[in-house]
Structure 1
Amino acid sequence: MDNSQDEVSSQPGNCENYDSSRPVEEGSTQHHVGLAEPYIGQCFDGLDAVYRFYNAYARKLGFGVRKNSSTFSKVSGDRIWKNYVCDKAGVKLSRPSDSLEEFKRRRETRLGCLAKLDVKKCAPDSWIVTNFIKEHNHQLDTPRRTIKHRSHHISHKSVVAKILMEQLHGSGIGPSTIAKTLNATGMDNSISAQNVTDHVRHQRKNHVGFQGLHVYQYLQAQQAKDPNFYFSLELDNNDILRSIFWADSRARNDYIMFGDVIVFDVAYKTNNLLLPFAPFTGVNHHRQSILLGCALLSDETEETFTWLFQQWLKCMFEKAPSAIITDMDHAMYNSIQKVFPNTRHRFCSWHINKHLLENVYEMRNTEGEFIRDYKKFYNSRHVVLSETRWAELISKYQLQNNKWLAKMWDLRRHWIPAFFKDVFVAGMTSTGRSESINSFFDGFVNSNTCLVEFLKQYEKALESRRHAEEVEDYMTMNSKALLYGNTSLETHAAQSYTKTMFKLFQNEFKEILCCLHEKVSCVDNTKTYVVGLSSEDKCKWFEVNFVNTDPIYITCECSKFETHGIFCKHILHILFKKQVSQIPTHYLLKRWTINARNLMIYDSSKLDGINHNSVTLLMKWRLVSLCTTLIEKISGDEESFKSLYSYISQKMNEVNNTGTGKAIEVVGSQVGSTSMAYDHSAISIRDPIQAKNKGRPKIASRISSGIEESQLKCKKRTCGNCGDKGHYATTCPKKNNVSSFYLKFIYFSMQFD
């Protein structure tokens, strides 16, 4: 091969002779025609200009460029010489190895090519070419293959592409779809799914070691946008972030309206530190799940739960819920007793029935008989009857020595339905609401999500869920219910309830014609009836008491209104027979009505139980809600809008001129045990330690119970029925239809909800 220096111009140059306007024809398909070649003496304004020029030249010629070595001044330490080479320059050192691992290394790409470009600093921000070798020792690529070289594969490195990748990834879109989307915009079809994955991974690495501080900064920024945004961070003695709790103004407002019953469950891991995700879930007027605050916890100890419940209570104006539904967790139970002593605590019925299957092995050999007896006990109408049937159940199946059942009986006030006849739970008996919230976040987060990214994705998921409520509002307001009959009672319900709630009402109402009743007694204004379906035995009918006063009062033994907030078919049957034309006002729960949000803003009873120290904040906040509602209603009336604007402007001027306005101090954030807002540069928050709680696996999934884990875990050939080795449960000689029993029991447990 000829010396490459013989083929280039050897005329010396200086920085003044450099013509920066020399054309660079990127994208040309002619490899050796009209090339803007580097030459010795050519000058550039900075190293970036050198690299762009040489890389553009390389792309047209058919090779890639790599930044190689540099020389620095011993006096000033500045770079004074830079070398750019072909990406096939150099050779990798061979490493002798006797193992097969050597064959797993990547294929060799370095071929010892000598093509290069050297530049030397000749003035501040000016560089001159001192050496240029043109010839390569390998075949040059075609234009289509050239763009695959790393130096030319730069579309994904552009600012626009990076922003789009981050935004699309933030919306829960996968790398493959993101790459296809960006390539469809005309970016040379050069962005691959791996490029997207690499960029997202790089962004996550930027948070390593700074996640705690970035979380604090993000929450402070959210509070700056939303003054009623509340957050609290728990730090240990070494300033390591342990737990996070936050709730925006919408969540706090929702709690005032729909916070009578909440579901709390710690059942999901959605971040790279495996911190359990703990949402407080309620139900709105469409019976949709709503978030009333969320937390990421360091562990699931009693101390952590106590801290969380205290922060949540402080956030919600010191007003405890009427009822709370949780899993049967000992630490959680003790914390609730401390922080919410007057709140009715109910265990999740679904988990109770699952634990029953795990802990009462004796019942498997009874086929469906135990199920029938247990169901009879569970559905007892009265506390006394449930106690009697429990004793019969224990005696019949000889379960006196079962410690788990003894423990459950001690906790009977927290799970047996007969004890909750007077407790409003909005129709909820399990933590399924919370788990539905968890599944909703599946498309937004995973086990690689860092904390700040989780908070951002949480906001996006929350917006999507709230949009679903807006859709239901629209459907309710812009559609008319189809009536089962032409009765005034059903018409009134259709005009009052939301679309979802009216459907539930109608399911009860359409059965009233199938019901029969008998009068049992009549004392003064109170009449007692027994009501039931004509197809049922009278022993299954329910007692209904009707008090004929103004207003009327009516109750049913089934307690559907007390627990669900909507009339049962037994009450509706009596009202229909009594020709009552409307649902009495005191039985029409505002939380289920079409205008629930507007009506409940004016409901002063919602202030009951709120700490007086927080009333000022709450009233201020409710005034904001009123103003927002008013603006929405008059937005189409220009005169009213101008009048309101003028009035508010006048009041603002009065406050500014007279100085009569009083500052309201709002404690909206807490770090550690303080409530002061710190400057970012003055606070030190170290990253949380990866959670290792209760021996659960490090995967982003709902935390499974023992029976679920046993079903998923790969086992040796050991029988799950008798415990002997050498066969499975399906071929167990001692088998007594366990699989059939399990399916029946799971089906039965689902019927409780």
Structure 2
Amino acid sequence: MRDSILLLMSMPRDIMVVLPLTDATDSIATSNVDALMNNDIPPVIPLTNAPETPQVGSENTIFGFPSCPEDLKPINGMIFSNLEDGIDFYNKYAKVCGFIPRLDSTKLVNGIVTHKRCVCNKEGKSKNKGTKRKRTVTRSGCEAKVSFKRIDTGEYQIYDFVEVHTHAMVTPATMVHMKPSRNLNLFHKKMIMDNSRVNHGPVDSFRMFKEYKKAMSPSFYFNFDVDDEKRLSKVFWADPISIKNYALFGEAVSFDATYNFNEYKMVFCPFTGVDNHKRCVTFAGGLLRKEDGESFTWLFENFVKAMGDCYPTTIITDQCKGIN
């Protein structure tokens, strides 16, 4: 027994072997020792957490099953009142799992859809058209899919659902940048159309989308007023960062209303200050059609209201009579 243990301890560390169990508890079979010396026993293969599942197709290797709550997972035999509801259900499932679905084949009988299949966007193989331009590989032969068929009641039933994918899933943090999350709603489309009438293109419109923070941040403050002809005459706004800047560096406020008129005949009136690094910071901004006492009073009152009724210690401005 002692000699056998010493023999095992003297073997190279890179030989990882498996010894079959024997009934004896105080000795090691001589045949096992001979097998070790002759390297007849194959090395140990490390175990993984992946379940032993058969491969999908003849060439693809299984990557894994997507993580999804059971109530959102399609099941063979599941019935939907119409095909649109079934496709929408699969789209929601794909968004939770982290992949992008794509509509595939359709079978029609007398103009009625009897069979419909949705696949992963990485289904199939990318075709090399002989171009020299390097393209990102978007298809990897994934066979995940769901197939619907029309039953006698006019409803649609899932009859072929393949869950496993051959690629990594998209993380929730990056899913917002994928194609399904980049659709424009009716409000965005209307805004782009309206902005195009005043010579503002899609780029300017998307920059404006970023400024609509009221719905996302209750701290965003804005107000406006119109004249007797229902035309915009006064505008004031202050975002949360500007309000925070005022709370930190609002002892002295610089107010200047001498900026040139824009194409809408309104003058820009910024409230600015200086931080502890001697850099200019913005507290708020406004647009006025008239530079009179009434307009400036309206602007200053909204500024104080936006800052939580906290008055500045010092205001630096010019000799404008309306401001005075």
TM-score, structure 2 as length reference: 0.44
- The TM-score with structure 1 as length reference comes to 0.20
Larger helix proportion of the pair: 1
